[in-house]
Chains A and B, each alone.
Chain A
């Protein structure tokens, strides 16, 4: 295929060529960035909570005098365990996708606020909660009865805890985390075990690699560990069990108020938590599809115009020996050249848009693999859009050359 005549022809139509190229460039910039955002959100909503979500529900009550918390706990646990279908009812301070109750910065040395390792979620949990959650232990040991410590303020002064693999790899990269210490102000924690996955309460508020910075802290019920109960039932029962539990609260403890919003199954909590992200993914994909459609239509419109304009030239070329394939390939090559030019421009624009977005959002740089994929998509789109007009051009009969109009 001769490229020179095509370039010569394009030079005669600089404005139209430039318009298609600019359109492709804008589409390329928006496409790459939108797909990047979609991919990030998709990764986030796929987060592995590490717990048996479909078997679990959480029930929250409040409005009672903190001095009575031990009494309320005892009554609530007895009452909840009596509900048919409940496999276990235990105490927990927060569950994945529920409200966050205890995030704090932790350090390698006591009171060393300058060198924060990071901000973790401390999940306070009573006896039986580890088993109820269904967490998977990969190293170390499970909490024994004397590991449960009283929490005088929010956290116990000293506790043996379980951490997630993600946190262990962040805090002690390449080392064995078992037996390692970390501090929250003067409160001391020692790692007794590592769990595979365990999402913190609000993973979406942290960077992608920090959604599982969770510390499972065994605590004696009472004080700050009261009012939030984890219910476990068979997956098919869990909705019914929760309804029964919600209804039973009035009878079990007439002096407390059921927190309607925070008494849900974990499946519901998760769906609710990621709702806006799913909407955003839908919107971004919608914009991308519409934009590609508009771009394709623009290419169809302009190429059709060119074909109509060059009808006579095409006829002459056919008359002097060009095959249909030659004409088809001419328009395809022409489109390929314009789109390539547009993509080159678009890559610069894509990085520009990424830089703008980075100023307003906590986003990393656009990863390079998005560019070739975006380019392939646009080349494909261009070829698809040009096919119709090019086929019409190829169908121009040679006899047109002999007609005057």
Chain B
């Protein structure tokens, strides 16, 4: 990948260990990219440091996504954030384990572009983000029950014909109404 090489990664790894030691529990190199493990409560401060410290300058949030480790780990979900520095072109991956029903702080204050990816993660995986301005479904229809990318959700669905009623008689959604799920 452009901007990645082993020496640069080792240097970044050391810097992350040094500067983010109190937010980050483990830093490693995996598949040619530096990976830092943190906790949801320390996520915001770690991200702020990574973006604002001129040493790192990770100013681009490439993507954020989540993984379901049902039956494989004690803590079920894991959030994965991918960052890019437009100056040094180095990349870093931040991971945070999230338990079921645990809320993750929203990154909208740091990157506005985190809005829709966070809604997507909520929609498909059911992880809620605290202080998100509109924690509603993005991809599935509004009346949908369940979060289809969870490992315990059947691939073929549970039979979604209950949606047909709302398709034929759409109810106008009130502005700012929160979904009760």
Do chains A and B interact in one complex?
no
Q: Which residues of B are in contact with A by a Cβ distance under 8 Å?
A: none
Q: Which residues of A are in contact with B by a Cβ distance under 8 Å?
A: none
